[in-house]
Chain A
């Protein structure tokens, strides 16, 4: 095996990822405390709400900063979340055999984000927005909005929590624990993956990137 490495994620993206996901974990855990009655005692005296708001502030501000710094990257990234094609169906069909049995035979080559990662990204964007809207209303319109509205905000926030929470488990599992995702961790920490990994897991992307390199 070669030890030729390819840069998957540049530093700004990695910083964004870790700060944002750190905030999300804060938000998730403080929210989980309200979800699980046995843990409710940790929320006494509004402690977890204060932490939740700190997390929320970071959660909102960091992407905004990134948008200001690099609007094109944000635009490109958002486009990715909403670009779907027949190729994604191919991934879906191949995914069970691939992820359980390691059978890559029917897995079509994936882009920078495989379909699964795109699905996660979609959830992050859409539910992130939902989280923020419902959260802002609950935080700042608590005394002005009609109670029924506030109750439905909680409902939507809860649905978002369940969906994004479940997907978060999947994301962490795949990124850290799955035997096949060997370079996923280093991709988001050091930013680099091995060429082999890139070829196998993100073939389409690797082809474009290395083509460029060859041309250069």
Chain B
């Protein structure tokens, strides 16, 4: 089956936060403020920005980042979608000890929260700093949460043939859902249009990064300006651990067991011989 993806066009996004709220509503995630039982109102506060909540969290799987820059006397206000990038070469899937994170048949990184061990390896491995976790510092009991591409158990929109909640809500068409190949082509066309209009640094982010992301970004400027990592890689530590040490460990363990087994057979035979 052909991979599906989301195309996010930062040049069409007006940061209305419809997607942020739709994601929460659909996935039944709480807000970042105390529940409505407080008769004195909610002591939520603005820390000096439109960007609320200020970070992803186990209850906030998707948010918009606001960046004000001033270049050449012109002010720009850039908006970026911040959520799981659903990588093809997903570091989180590599390091997950029990396959709670796995690749859906349509290509994105799906997630079974029930089996999550709370180890947090995915949090440290993700080049985009996406997964977040609840964690009890004493007992170590923890659970991770991230965007599931709307395949959350019991709330699976993709299985019904629907687009993710964020895509459905977007009023300006900044978010689209469809076959990845088609969206890559559409994204490239849009980049061409932007370049022709004078945005010489326009680019399609996510086409080839990490084997290809399933959330593609149309940007009118360098990814770094939008807060996206340039050439994100799976970290050396992940590779050393998963691709080097892990097989070495099996080898060492296996060889040891075999060696000991051989030793036992030989030594026992010898001991019998001596006894005779």
A residues lining the B interface (CB < 8 Å):
33-35, 37, 39-41, 43-46, 48-50, 52-53, 99-102, 139-140, 142-143, 147-148, 150-152, 154-155, 158-159, 161-163, 165-166, 169-170, 173, 177-180
A154 to B117 alpha-carbon distance, docked (Å) = 15
A-B contact count (CB 8 A): 139
Q: Is the CB of B99 within 8 A of A101?
A: no
Q: 10 closest Cβ contacts across the A-B interface?
A: A40-B98, A151-B237, A43-B117, A179-B271, A147-B124, A162-B249, A34-B97, A46-B118, A46-B141, A166-B256
A34 to B124 alpha-carbon distance, docked (Å) = 16
25 intermolecular pairs with C-beta atoms under 8 Å apart? A37-B98, A40-B98, A40-B99, A43-B117, A43-B119, A44-B98, A45-B117, A46-B117, A53-B139, A99-B263, A100-B267, A102-B267, A142-B135, A147-B125, A148-B237, A151-B238, A154-B124, A154-B237, A158-B245, A162-B248, A162-B252, A165-B249, A166-B253, A177-B264, A179-B268
B residues lining the A interface (CB < 8 Å):
97-99, 114-121, 123-126, 129, 135, 137, 139-143, 235, 237-238, 240-241, 245-246, 248-249, 252-253, 256-257, 260, 263-264, 266-268, 270-271, 274
Residues on the B chain within 8 Å of A52, using CB: 140
Residues on the A chain within 8 Å of B271, using CB: 102, 179-180
Q: Is the CB of A155 within 8 A of B140?
A: no
Q: What residue of chain B has the Cβ atom nearest to residue A102's Cβ? A: B270
Q: Is the CB of A173 within 8 A of B117?
A: no
Q: Give the interface SS of chain A, mostly helix, strand, loop or mixed.
A: helix
Residues on the A chain within 8 Å of B142, using CB: 46, 49
Given contacts A50-B139, A151-B237, contact A41 B267 (CB under 8 A): no
Residues on the B chain within 8 Å of A43, using CB: 97-98, 117, 119
Q: Is the CB of A159 within 8 A of B245?
A: yes
A34 to B117 alpha-carbon distance, docked (Å) = 9
Q: Is the CB of B235 within 8 A of A151?
A: yes
Given contacts A43-B98, A102-B270, A154-B124, contact A173 B240 (CB under 8 A): no
